[in-house]
Amino acid sequence: MIPPFFNPVPFLAELIYTVVITAFCFLIFFKTKEIYDLTKHNGIKFFRYTFLFFGLSYASRLLLHLFMLYNGIIFEMGINRRAFLPLSNLIMAYFSTMAILYLAFSTLWKRIKIRHLALYSNLFAVIIAFVGFFSRSPLFISLIQLILLALAIIVNAFAEKKSRKVSNMRILYLMIAAFWLINLFLIDPHFRFHPAIKLVLQGFSIIVFIIIHFRLNKWLK
C-alpha cells in the first residue's frame, strides 16, 4: 500500500536516475574485461572494480527505492522502517567506500606494496560503514569518502605523464571525481535541494557518465 502523501514524480526521477547509473557502471565493468584479460594490467583491474562497486552501491540504492515504494508491505512483514533505512545505508556505505578505495588504488597501483590488499580494503570499508551505522551519521561517511577522493585526485594530478593514454585516463578520473562529488551532495540528507535543482544535478551527473563511457570506448579502440 502506497501512503497517501507519496509523490510519484521525484521518486520516479530518482528511480530512473539510479537505474541508468547502475546500468552504466556494470556496462563499463564488463566492457573493460577483455582489455584486462589481455594485459593483466593492475591499474585497469582496480579501475574495473571501481565501477563494479559503484554499480553494487547503486543497485543497493535501487532496492532501497523499491522497498520504499512498497513500504506498506514492509510494515506488514514486521520490518521497522527506522531499522531498515540505516541497514540499507550500511550496505551502500560499504560498497561506495570500496569504490572510492579502488579508484585511489587505480592511481597508486605502482606504489602499492601491501600484501592482502583486498582484505585490508574490505576491513576498512566495513569499519567505516559500521561507524556510520552506529553513529547515524551519513556526514561522517561522506567526509571520509571525500578525503579518499581528494587524495586520489591529488596523486593522479602529480603522476608522471608517460603517454596519451595516461592523459586520457587522467581526464576519466577527474570526470569520475566530479560525478561522485555531485552524488555525495545528492545522497547526504544534510543537503536539501529544491526538486528542480536536484533534477538538474542528476541530469548533469548522467551526462558526465555518458561522456565517461564515450571516452572509454574511444580509448579502448
Contact 125, 97 (CB under 8 A): yes
Say what the pTM is: 0.80
* Helix segments in 32-163, DSSP class H: 33-39, 42-69, 71-76, 81-108, 117-135, 138-157
* pLDDT at site 109: 72
Cα–Cα distance, 25 to 15 (Å, whole number)? 15
* pLDDT beyond 90 at 124: yes
**CB under 8 Å to 203, separation ≥6 — which residues?**
none
Of 79-88, 162-171, 185-194, minimum mean pLDDT range: 162-171
Across 67-71, 116-120, 185-189, the highest mean pLDDT is recorded for 116-120
- Mean per-residue pLDDT for 171-197? 70
Cα–Cα distance, 205 to 203 (Å, whole number)? 5
Which amino acid would we find at residue 8? P
Of 61-70, 76-85, 145-154, minimum mean pLDDT range: 76-85
Of 3-7, 57-61, 209-213, minimum mean pLDDT range: 3-7
Computed over every residue of the chain, the mean pLDDT equals: 76
Rounded percentage of the chain residues whose pLDDT exceeds 90: 10
Which amino acid would we find at residue 74? I
DSSP-based helix, strand, coil % in the chain, nearest 5: 80, 0, 20
Cell of 63: 532496492
Name the pLDDT band for 88 (thresholds 50, 70, 90).
confident
* pLDDT beyond 50 at 76: no
The pLDDT tens digits for 32-63 are 888 888 888 888 888 889 899 989 988 888 88
* pLDDT beyond 60 at 79: no
From the list 50, 8, 3, 15, the residue with the least C-alpha distance to 29 is 50
Q: How many CB atoms lie within 10 A of CB 166?
A: 13
The pLDDT tens digits for 132-176 are 888 877 778 878 888 887 877 777 666 655 544 445 566 777 777
The single residue listed with the C-alpha cell 584486462 is 36
From the list 18, 23, 72, the residue with the least C-alpha distance to 213 is 23
Cα–Cα distance, 47 to 104 (Å, whole number)? 9
Of 6-10, 26-30, 85-89, minimum mean pLDDT range: 6-10
DSSP annotation of 111 reads T
Domains in the chain: boundaries:
8-220
The pLDDT tens digits for 8-18 are 666 777 788 88
Name the pLDDT band for 64 (thresholds 50, 70, 90).
confident
Cα–Cα distance, 98 to 161 (Å, whole number)? 27
Contact 85, 36 (CB under 8 A): no
From the list 93, 206, 189, the residue with the least C-alpha distance to 145 is 93
Rg (CA), the chain: 18
